[in-house]
Amino acid sequence: MRTHFLAPAVLVLALSLAAQPAVAGVEEVFDALPDSSERGDIRLLTDNHEAWYARWNLMERAQTTLDCTYFSATTDIIGRAFLGMLARKAAAGVKVRLMVDLRGSLPLFNPIFHQDYLPALASLPGVQVKVYNAYQRGLSLVPAALLSGIASNHSKMLIADGSLVVAGGRNLKVPWFTSPSDDSHAITDADVVCGGAGVAAQATRVFLTEFAGMRNLQIRPLPPAEAAKVLARLETARAALHAHMTRQNVTVVETADDTLAGIEKELEPFRSMRSYERFRLFPVLQERPRMVVLGKGSAANPGQNPITDTLVRFIDAAESEIEIGSAYMVLTDRARAALKAASARGVRIRVLTNSPESTGSLLTQAWFVKEWKDYMRELPTMRLFAIAEKRKLHGKVFVFDHKVSVVGSYNMDPMSEQINGEQVAVIRSRVFSWRLEAWLALVKFSAIEYEIRRHSDGTVSQVVGPSDHCSRTVLWLLKLIGSFSFLRPMV
C-alpha cells in the first residue's frame, strides 16, 4: 500500500523542485554581464619589474592613441620617465589623453612644488591632460557634499591603440616597480595586461566616463620656450631609465636639475631591472579567455555601481570558495551581509590583507583592528591572513570557486564602494584563477593567520591577532582613531 502513495509523492516533490528558481553559479553570473562574450589575451602581472616593462612596452608600441588614468603619480624617476615616454609618443603623432587625481598626484602640478611637467606635456599637439575632481566644493557638513568633495578617481589604467590595456592596482611611483631584492620598500601588487579590441573598447568607455567629468581641470599648456626646457628634463629621465633597463650606458646632458650622479642615485632601487629586451608581453602559447572591464564613477561623478553589484552577485553565487586579497578590509554593510550569507551556506572564505605592521594607512587599520574579531565571529568559515612584515600589500583581487577572477583597483572598504571611481577586469578562466590563487598562496608566507576563541555566551576573544606582532604605541593610536565613528564612512 505504501508504494501506492509513493508515485504521487515523488511527482509533487519533482514539481516543487522544478518550480524553484535555478541558482546561478559564478560562471553563469559572468555570462550575464554586458559584453561577456569578448575574448582576449591576458597576463597576470605580479612581478614589479614585469609590470613596468608591460607599461613601457604598450607605450613603445602605440602608433595612434594612448589613454591613461592614474590615482597617484609623482616626480620621481618613474613619474618623469612615464611622462617623458608620453611626450616622445606625442611628438611622433600619437594622440595622448592623461588624467591624474588631485588628491593622489599633488606633486605633479601644485605650484608649491614648482613643477610644470603636466603643463609642458599639454603643450604638445594632440595631448589632453586633466586633473580629476579639481573643482572641489569646500568641505561641508552635508554628507553627500563631503563625500563628493573628497572623491578621487582611484583607477590605474593604460590603453594603447584601442587594442591593449594594462590595469590593476599599481600607482606611478618607484616602490610599485622595484624588486624586493633591491628595495625593502617594494610594494606587493597585481595588474593584468589584456589584448583585444573588444576588451580595450570596454576599458576606453570606463576611462571616458571619468575623463569627461565636469569637475576635472584641463591643464593649460606652457609657452613653447618654457615647455621645451621641462620636456628636456622628462626626456632625460625617459632615456636614462630605458638605457638602464636595456643594459646600456646611462648618459646625461647635465643641467642644474639633472646630473649623472643624481640620475644614477635615482636608479639605485632598480639595480636588477636590466632585462627589458627579453620581455614579451604575452606568452607564445596561452588561452584567450572571456573577460569584461567594469568601472564605477566616484561620488563626484555618480552613476551606477556595476563593480559592487557584480562582486555581490559573485559572492551570492559562490558554492565552494572565495579568495580575497585586498590592501584594506573594512566591510560595508552590503559586503558584510553577502559574505555572511556565503559563510552560512558553507562557502570557504579566505582573506589576505594588511596589518598595522605592513601599512601606514592608520585610518583604515583603525577600523580593521577594531572589527576583525567581529568579522570572524560572523563568518565562521573565514580564514584571515594579515601581512606581518614592513612590506605593503596593495593588490585588489578576488577568485570565486576557482573559475572567475577579478583584478583591479577596488578595495574591500567604504572608500571604494561609495566614494572613489574604480576599475576592475573580470576574467572567466580556471587557468587564470589558478595562477591568481598561486600568487596569493605565495604572498601568505609573509602573513600571520589571525585566530579567535568562541565562548559559550557568544563572545569571542583573540588567540592570534595584531597585538602579537604590532607596536603597542601604534595599537593605542589606532584605538583612539577608531573612537571617532564619524570617520568610518570615509575609510
What tens digit of pLDDT does each residue of 246-295 get? 999 998 888 878 899 999 999 999 999 999 999 999 987 788 999 999 99
pLDDT of 11 reads: 43
Q: How far apart are CA 260 and CA 250, in angstroms?
A: 8
pLDDT of 105 reads: 87
Under the banding of pLDDT at 50, 70 and 90, the label for residue 491 is confident
Q: How large is the average pLDDT for residues 30-49?
A: 97
pLDDT tens track for 146-181: 556 678 899 999 999 999 999 999 999 999 999 999
How far is residue 113 from each of residues 75, 116, 117, 122, 233, measured CA to CA in Å? 10, 9, 11, 18, 16
Which CATH architecture group holds 293-490? 2-Layer Sandwich (3.30)
Under the banding of pLDDT at 50, 70 and 90, the label for residue 456 is very high
Between 3.30.870.10, 3.30.43.10, 3.40.605.10, 3.40.47.40, what CATH number should domain 41-278 receive?
A: 3.30.870.10
Q: Which residues contact 267 (CB under 8 A, 6 or more apart)?
A: 77, 240, 241, 244, 250
**372 and 334 Cβ atoms separated by less than 8 Å:** no
Q: What are phi and psi of 13, to 5 degrees?
A: -65, -45
Cell reading at 416: 571604494
CA angle 428, 430, 433 (to 5 degrees): 85
Q: How large is the average pLDDT for residues 95-116?
A: 82
pLDDT of 361 reads: 86
pLDDT tens track for 430-449: 999 999 999 999 999 999 99
pLDDT tens track for 70-85: 999 999 999 999 999 9
**42 and 193 Cβ atoms separated by less than 8 Å:** yes
Q: How far apart are CA 117 and CA 222, in angstroms?
A: 9
pLDDT tens track for 402-425: 999 999 999 999 999 999 999 999
Task: For strands 191-195 and 217-218, give the pairing.
Answer: unpaired
**325 and 396 Cβ atoms separated by less than 8 Å:** yes
Q: How far apart are CA 411 and CA 55, in angstroms?
A: 22
Q: How far apart are CA 25 and CA 207, in angstroms?
A: 30
pTM of the predicted structure, to 2 decimals: 0.92
What residues does CATH 3.30.870.10 cover in the chain?
Answer: 41-278, 293-490
Q: How large is the average pLDDT for residues 302-325?
A: 95
Residue 438: strand, helix, or coil? helix
Q: How far apart are CA 353 and CA 375, in angstroms?
A: 13
